[in-house]
Amino acid sequence: MNKKLENIINILKQLMSYQTTDQNNEEFEKIFAYIKELMPSKLNITEYEFDGKKAIVISNTQEKEVDIVFCTHVDVVPAEKYECIETEKEIKGRGAFDMKGSVATALELFKNLDTKKKVALFITSDEEITGNCAKQLLTIYNTQFAIVPDGGTDLQIVKEEKGQLQLKISIKTKSAHASQPYNGENAILALYDIYKKIIDKYPLPTSSEDYKTSVNLSMIKGGEALNSVAATASMYIDIRHTSTDTKESILEYIKSLNKNLEIEIIHAGSLFETDLNDKNVKKYIEISKEILGKEPQIVSTEATSDAIYFSDKKIPTILTNPSGGYAHAPKEYVEKESLLKMYKIWEKVLKEED
């Protein structure tokens, strides 16, 4: 096995041994201690805490203006079983793909850092819940270019990720005795009618290739008693929208469906877009083609990531991932060889002259 790949896999196995889920502070302390011990003394390591969540920045400069930022996270979503299974071609287990495989690759890269560029590695602990650490780090650091290994698969280049809009939609109607539904108006049914109209406007995608705005009915609550017509109800919907449909246009449409609706925005996440004509993005694509022996696929994806905070600041960003899949699921895995290919791409990016 290639020595670099062997090192990456060994680091990955160690990272996966920590159950770094939300509120498991002791495990985060352990994983950050391991990472700090791994790094050579010539690098600068700065620790941060934002709203109780830790982050570290590893850099070859003390300056806050850098040429490239690699943005990663070590938190994972909860699992029934935390294990690391190695096969001939894959590493399987929670966090292998999302995204400790990429973190391990970045750590091996920084262990052997050889570049004239000023570079920084963000490692955060809250991407799976808020992403606030990355957002706050970008109020401290500025960069000309970013690489976020948290989107797509097979070393694809993600040109767009959907924006997120989570809403609580409530309505008050008229109650009545359950035996006399004609004397009332059922709030639950009224909301469901609203939901069907939303789905008619934004039909659900049928696959990943069917890239369009999606609306998920996540929860519905309503009613006061079993023997009465519900006079109040609320539904919670999670909308993932493309650049074709703005948050403003979606909200305007929903408001037009019923003047009695109360709409609360629970969360609004930005849409990620990158400039494929930017010189750094074009160079990354050229290098990927050279290393992979083929054109990297340019895609749009459904998920969201910390890449949105770079996109918000108009920072040219590569959003990519190694080969793997089933993030957040029992079958999660990452392909070993793709980690080495990603390492080689990054290594060449750092050696390229501006």
> 28-61: per-residue pLDDT in tens?
999 999 999 999 999 999 999 999 999 999 999 9
Burial class (CB in 10 A: 0-12, 13-18, 19+), 122: buried
Q: Which domains does the chain have, with CATH numbers?
A: 3-161+271-351 (3.40.630.10), 163-269 (3.30.70.360)
Q: Taking the CB of residue 152, how many other CB atoms lie within 10 A of it?
A: 22
Task: Note the pLDDT of residue 277.
Answer: 96
Coil, helix or strand at residue 279:
helix
Got the DSSP string for 182-214? GGSB-HHHHHHHHHHHHHHHSPPPSSTTS-S-E
Give the residue carrying structure tokens 């980690």.
Answer: 339
Task: Note the pLDDT of residue 352.
Answer: 81
Backbone φ/ψ region at 289: left (φ over 0), alpha (ψ -120 to 50), beta = alpha
Mean of all residue pLDDT scores within the chain: 96
Q: Are 28 and 54 in contact (CB under 8 A)?
A: yes
pLDDT under 50 in the chain at which residues? none
DSSP secondary structure code for residue 304 in this structure: -
Task: Note the pLDDT of residue 354.
Answer: 61
Alpha carbons 230 and 189: distance in angstroms, whole number:
9
Alpha carbons 334 and 86: distance in angstroms, whole number:
10
- Length of the chain as a residue count: 354
Give the residue carrying structure tokens 């705005």.
Answer: 213
Task: Note the pLDDT of residue 330.
Answer: 93
Q: What is the largest CA-CA distance in the chain?
A: 78
Alpha carbons 310 and 134: distance in angstroms, whole number:
9
Residue from 256, 196, 185 nearest 223 by CA:
185
